């Protein structure tokens, strides 16, 4: 991996990257544990993390998984009238049920991930609001059938090898870098009213203390600890570590829309999940049955990656490359330029 790059005036040092990897292994790991494993002091770990967070390099967020609630997720492509896409993308990014928004095709196409928590919420967006928007010329919605990498505790493999296997094991890792799972659970969970307040507090800061979460959810710290562990174990929520790709030197982003032979789609998806450039890969319904979000160091590297590595995978029949013109929202976090933004109204004490 090349030396980490720069986000504004913040230069990532090797120890910063090691901290990022430690958070990937366990997003809520105590800084004292990270300090012991990395051989640094706890104040140093905390100071470096806060510096990266202020600079928009990293955010740790809690995300509700609609699949655990019995709801499907969708990838949507919108073709818009010239000059209208940016405003529509901003409106979509403000919605809690939209987890990822990108502008492509020089600003005339929007790609977004819909993770509605109810069928009514999803149908209202996809069946009524978007189709009736005059500036939307075309809408393609595909249901996510199987996710190979991205979210739900999956590692982004760009930092693989940053820590030794022994260090990752000491942090609670040591398993496979991703766990392929069905998108929709057979038995859906039903969070209680208290759980809902806890789930509403997690997106502000996935590393919030039990005391802060208790204050936000009106539960006791002991109750928060038990319910949080139960919700994470049941897959109702997961803690995601969002990293600004440019901080690691990845300056060319693109969506790959692929047609893969049905008998090969699992093999291709699993192969892509192990590639450092791939942050998300999933099997979809529709004419493009595999979609991936990729980060490369520059456009030349994107060309080499798609032609030499993706295009040569057995079963890949067609590949459309859609460079990202501007990232508006990454997972649950708004993006300002190449920086991850803090939420406008943080429910947790600072």
Residues contacting residue 78 through CB under 8 Å, at least 6 positions apart: 85, 88, 109, 110, 111, 112, 130, 136, 138, 139
For residue 341, tell me if it sits in a domain. no
Does one domain contain both 52 and 83? no
Nearest alpha-carbon partner for 57 in 1, 23, 10, 99: 10
Tell me the C-alpha distance between 324 and 159, whole Å: 22
For residue 195, tell me if it sits in a domain. yes
Does one domain contain both 94 and 137? yes
Expressed as residue numbers, the domain containing 16 is 6-61+156-243
CA 180 → CA 25, 141, 224, 314, distances in Å?
A: 16, 23, 28, 20
Which CATH number characterizes residue 122's domain? 3.30.70.920
b or e along 244-257 (b: 16 or more beta carbons within 10 Å of the residue's beta carbon)? bbbbbbbbbbbbbb
Does one domain contain both 82 and 231? no
End residue of a domain, out of 198, 225, 243? 243
> pLDDT of the chain along its 350 residues, tens only?
444 443 444 679 999 999 999 999 999 999 999 999 999 999 999 999 999 999 999 999 998 888 888 888 899 999 999 889 999 999 999 998 898 899 997 788 999 999 888 889 989 999 889 988 989 999 999 999 998 987 655 667 788 889 999 999 999 865 444 556 667 666 666 788 778 889 988 888 999 999 999 998 888 999 999 999 999 888 888 898 999 999 989 999 999 999 999 999 999 999 999 899 999 999 999 999 999 999 999 999 999 999 999 999 999 999 999 999 999 998 778 998 889 988 754 444 33
For residue 197, tell me if it sits in a domain. yes
What's the start-to-end Cα distance of the chain, in Å? 35
Tell me the C-alpha distance between 234 and 185, whole Å: 10
End residue of a domain, out of 225, 243, 261? 243
Helices (H), the chain: 14-25, 31-38, 42-54, 85-93, 119-123, 165-170, 193-201, 210-217, 221-234, 265-273, 299-304
For residue 348, tell me if it sits in a domain. no
Q: Which residues pair with 141 in a beta bridge?
A: 76
Q: Is 9 exposed, middle or buried (0-12, 13-18, 19+ CB in 10 A)?
A: exposed
Does one domain contain both 43 and 77? no
Q: How many domains does the chain have?
A: 3
* Residue entry with tokens 């429910």: 347
pTM: 0.86
Taking CB atoms within 8 Å and a gap of at least 24, the contacts of 139-142 are 139/76, 139/77, 139/78, 139/79, 140/76, 140/77, 140/286, 141/74, 141/75, 141/76, 141/114, 142/74, 142/75, 142/76, 142/284, 142/285, 142/286, 142/288, 142/291
Does one domain contain both 238 and 169? yes
What token pair was written down for 41?
């002091």
């Amino acid at each position: 991996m090349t030396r980490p790059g720069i986000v504004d005036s913040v230069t990532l040092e090797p120890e910063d990257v090691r901290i990022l990897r430690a958070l990937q292994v366990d997003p809520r790991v105590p800084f004292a544990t990270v300090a012991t494993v990395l051989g640094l002091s706890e104040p140093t770990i905390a100071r470096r993390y806060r510096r990266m967070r202020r600079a928009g390099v990293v955010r740790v967020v809690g995300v509700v998984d609609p699949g655990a609630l019995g709801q499907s997720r969708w990838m949507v492509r919108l073709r818009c009238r010239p000059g209208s896409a940016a405003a529509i993308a901003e409106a979509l990014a403000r919605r809690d049920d939209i987890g990822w928004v990108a502008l492509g095709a020089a600003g005339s196409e929007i790609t977004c991930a819909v993770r509605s928590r109810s069928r009514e919420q999803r149908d209202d967006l996809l069946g009524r609001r978007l189709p009736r928007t005059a500036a939307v010329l075309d809408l393609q919605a595909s249901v996510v059938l199987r996710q190979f990498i991205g979210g739900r505790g999956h590692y982004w493999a760009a930092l693989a090898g940053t820590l030794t296997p022994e260090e990752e094991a000491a942090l609670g890792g040591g398993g496979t870098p991703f766990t392929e799972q069905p998108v929709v659970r057979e038995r859906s969970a039903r969070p209680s009213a208290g759980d809902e307040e806890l789930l509403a507090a997690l997106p502000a800061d996935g590393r919030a203390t039990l005391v802060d979460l208790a204050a936000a959810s009106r539960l006791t710290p002991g109750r928060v600890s038990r319910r949080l562990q139960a919700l994470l174990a049941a897959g109702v929520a997961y803690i995601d570590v969002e990293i600004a790709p440019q901080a690691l030197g990845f300056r060319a982003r693109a969506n790959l829309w692929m047609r893969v032979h049905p008998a090969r789609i699992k093999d291709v998806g699993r192969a892509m999940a192990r590639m450092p450039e791939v942050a998300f890969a999933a099997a979809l319904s529709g004419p493009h049955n595999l979609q991936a979000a990729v980060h490369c160091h520059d456009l030349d590297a994107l060309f080499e990656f798609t032609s030499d590595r993706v295009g040569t995978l057995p079963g890949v029949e067609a590949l459309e490359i859609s460079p990202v013109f501007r990232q508006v929202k990454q997972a649950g976090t708004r993006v300002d330029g190449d920086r991850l933004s803090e939420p406008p109204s943080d429910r947790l004490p600072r």
